[in-house]
């Protein structure tokens, strides 16, 4: 028996199994109740420590005692075979499902049950659904960096937009913006697949990326040839925004993802101005002022607390 001091059972493994899932504890509790009903536990050291009533008369007949003992051993054997999912009754463990999200302005690091880590960029949502045969995740919004623990038996699959990214031990970024997905590989090898469009019933396209490459796709467009990724694209987990001749409109769009303070341009034509520099994401007003100073523009707060960047007013002639 599992409770008997002479039991040839790994007690630590049993306790890990029982505490791993409330359903395990409930199943074992039902088994205990069955034993109690049969008065078998009362005849063991565990039963005596539980102060269970002894029903010696019931077990005075040797054949009954052996019959109940055999039945109890069978129950324990079934439980033992299920510990760790080995033996004749091996089955996939139920999915380990969880959802993680980051707030606006927050960069959040999450440790997963398989040893992998995920870094969530600002305003991101990720759902995790692990099984014994696959590690599947769903990125519905934002951006995430996946540092994948190697597991040859369980592929690591990130679903995003209309496609997926498959890896086994590597580091890569996935970003979702509307119906578009961007993937950047930092280390290892990954396979990017896009699903067939409504008008195309062929198999999904697959592209394999090498370190330093990126690829982007949308809901109704096929995968294209991977392109080199900019070095600045990999630095977002540091909390810095790095721009290298980036359009001002694009730089402001990135900055606005990290703050409830909105930066805008008084003249849309300023959006095509190019900017180079590194800015901290935690201070929108300071970032706007830094951008304005580097480009010779003017940054002013609105009554609502937002910031508007405009061209400097011409100095009147004297």
My answer on whether 224 and 306 are in the same domain is no
Sorted by sequence, the CB contacts under 8 Å of residue 80 that are 6+ apart come out as: 2, 9, 14, 87
My answer on whether 122 and 144 are in the same domain is yes
My answer on whether 154 and 123 are in the same domain is yes
Query: What integer pLDDT is reported at residue 176 of this predicted model?
Result: 96
My answer on whether 119 and 187 are in the same domain is yes
Query: What integer pLDDT is reported at residue 143 of this predicted model?
Result: 97
1 assigned to some structural domain: no
pLDDT tens-place string over residues 151-171: 999 999 999 998 999 998 899
- Contact between 274 and 245 under an 8 Å Cβ cutoff? The reply is yes
My answer on whether 122 and 171 are in the same domain is yes
Locate 38 and state its tokens: 């049969």
- Give just the sign of the alpha carbon dihedral 150, 151, 152, 157: negative
CB atoms closer than 10 angstroms to residue 164: 22
**Domain termination residue (choose one: 213, 230, 247):** 230
Burial of residue 314 (number of CB atoms within 10 Å: 0-12, 13-18, 19+): exposed
My answer on whether 223 and 109 are in the same domain is yes
Strands of 148-221, DSSP E? 156-160, 163-167, 171-177, 180-187, 190-194, 205-209, 213-217
My answer on whether 107 and 191 are in the same domain is yes
225 assigned to some structural domain: yes
Locate 21 and state its tokens: 């899932």
Query: What integer pLDDT is reported at residue 255 of this predicted model?
Result: 93
Number of domain units in the chain = 3
**Domain termination residue (choose one: 200, 230, 260):** 230
318 assigned to some structural domain: no
Domain holding 289, by residue range, is 239-311
CB atoms closer than 10 angstroms to residue 96: 16
- Alpha carbon distance 173, 148 (integer Å): 11
H helix runs in 21-130, sequence order: 22-38, 45-49, 62-82
Locate 123 and state its tokens: 């305003």
Query: What integer pLDDT is reported at residue 59 of this predicted model?
Result: 37
Low-confidence ranges of the chain (pLDDT < 50): 1, 3-9, 33-50, 52-94, 197-199
My answer on whether 104 and 218 are in the same domain is yes
């Amino acid at each position: 028996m599992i409770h008997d001091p002479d039991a040839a059972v790994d007690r630590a493994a049993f306790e890990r199994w029982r505490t791993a899932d409330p359903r395990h504890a409930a199943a074992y509790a039902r088994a205990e109740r069955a034993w109690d009903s049969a008065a078998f536990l009362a005849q063991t050291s565990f039963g005596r420590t539980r102060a269970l009533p002894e029903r010696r008369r019931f077990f005075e007949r040797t054949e009954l005692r052996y019959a109940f003992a055999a039945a109890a051993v069978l129950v324990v054997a079934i439980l033992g075979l299920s510990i760790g999912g080995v033996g004749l009754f091996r089955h996939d463990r139920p999915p380990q499902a969880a959802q993680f999200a980051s707030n606006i302005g927050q960069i959040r690091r999450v440790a997963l049950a398989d040893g992998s880590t995920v870094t969530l960029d600002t305003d991101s949502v990720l759902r995790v659904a692990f099984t014994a045969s696959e590690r599947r995740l769903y990125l519905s919004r934002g951006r995430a960096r996946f540092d994948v623990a190697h597991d040859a038996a369980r592929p690591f699959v990130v679903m995003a937009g209309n496609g997926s990214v498959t890896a086994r031990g590597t580091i890569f970024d996935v970003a979702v913006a509307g119906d578009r997905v961007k993937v950047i590989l930092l280390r290892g090898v990954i396979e990017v697949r896009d699903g067939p469009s409504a008008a195309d019933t062929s198999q999904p396209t697959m592209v394999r990326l090498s370190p330093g490459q990126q690829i982007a796709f949308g809901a109704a467009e096929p995968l294209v040839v991977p392109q080199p990724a900019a070095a600045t694209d990999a630095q977002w987990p540091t909390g810095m925004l790095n721009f290298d001749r980036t359009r001002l409109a694009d730089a402001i769009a990135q900055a606005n993802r990290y703050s409830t303070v909105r930066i805008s341009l008084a003249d849309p034509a300023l959006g095509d101005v190019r900017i180079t520099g590194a800015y901290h994401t935690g201070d929108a007003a300071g970032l706007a002022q830094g951008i304005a100073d580097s480009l010779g523009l003017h940054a002013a707060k609105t009554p609502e607390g937002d910031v508007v960047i405009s061209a400097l007013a011409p100095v009147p002639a004297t």
